[in-house]
Every structure is written in structure tokens, then in C-alpha cells.
């Protein structure tokens, strides 16, 4: 403990929240790209055409079946973070976990029906 002007300051780190800031920051980074960060980067090429902006513009387009670009790895990273956060939430509240699992199941079913996985013969 340190005393400064009759004020006691604790030198122990806070343990109030159990959230990991690094996971939240990386999730925010992926959300930025999902909601349209690629469009901003692609527009740089229209403003100033250089080899660097050309390379960035190409990385914001989805690759064909051969290889991958930067933008192709954003959604898998987001899914990885969601699965890690779901595992971390098991220690927080069972109700939040149940809602999260139900939401993920509904999204998986929506994806399967949207892409007609069940209807292919």
C-alpha cells in the first residue's frame, strides 16, 4: 500500500472482471473487417494507386480455390475467438452460456439450410 496525501492507493491489480482484454480487442479487430474495413482499404487504391495499395486491394478480395488472402482468414478467426470465449464463459454464468450455445446452434442450422446442405443428394 502506498499513501499519498491521506489517500490510500492499492497496488494490487484489479480482478473484478473476468474478461480477457486481448480477446475483446482481437474480436473488435475482426468485427471491423467483417463490417467493412476491406472496403476502406480498397478505396485507398482509388485515391492513390501505388504498388502497396494495389497489394492491399488484392488482399481484400476473396481468393479462388487456390490459396487464401487476408480477408479469407477473418471469419475463421472470429469463429475461433467465439469458441474460445464460449469456453471461457463456462466459469461465468450458466444462463449466458445456455443462450450463447442456443444462438450458435441456431446460426449453424440457418447456415446449413441457407446453403441447402440437407437438400443435396
Average pLDDT over residues 45-71: 86
Would residue 95 count as lying in a domain? no
**At 51, is the pLDDT very low, low, confident or very high (cuts 50, 70, 90)?**
very high
Domain count, the chain: 1
97's CB contacts (< 8 A; 6+ apart) are 86, 89, 90
46 compared with 67, residue with greater pLDDT: 46
- Cβ atoms 85, 19 nearer than 8 A: no
The pTM of this model reads 0.50
Would residue 8 count as lying in a domain? yes
- Residue 34 domain boundaries: 2-89
pLDDT, tens digit (0-9, with 9 covering 90-100), for 16-34? 456 677 778 888 888 888 8
pLDDT, tens digit (0-9, with 9 covering 90-100), for 80-107? 887 766 665 556 566 777 778 878 888 8
Would residue 106 count as lying in a domain? no
Would residue 55 count as lying in a domain? yes
Would residue 46 count as lying in a domain? yes
How far is it, in rounded angstroms, from Cα 26 to Cα 39?
A: 19
Would residue 43 count as lying in a domain? yes
* The predicted structure's pLDDT at residue 50: 92
Amino acid at each position: 500500500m502506498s499513501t499519498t496525501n491521506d489517500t490510500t492507493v492499492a497496488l494490487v491489480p484489479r480482478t473484478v472482471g473476468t474478461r480477457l482484454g486481448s480477446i475483446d480487442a482481437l474480436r473488435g479487430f475482426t468485427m471491423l473487417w467483417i463490417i467493412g474495413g476491406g472496403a476502406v482499404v480498397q478505396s485507398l487504391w482509388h485515391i492513390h494507386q501505388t504498388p502497396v495499395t494495389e497489394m492491399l486491394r488484392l488482399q481484400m478480395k476473396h481468393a479462388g480455390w487456390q490459396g487464401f488472402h487476408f480477408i479469407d482468414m477473418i471469419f475463421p478467426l472470429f469463429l475461433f475467438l467465439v469458441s474460445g470465449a464460449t469456453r471461457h464463459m463456462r466459469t461465468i454464468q450458466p444462463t449466458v452460456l445456455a443462450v450463447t450455445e442456443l444462438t450458435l446452434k441456431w446460426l449453424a442450422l440457418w447456415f446449413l439450410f441457407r446453403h441447402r446442405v440437407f437438400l443435396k443428394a
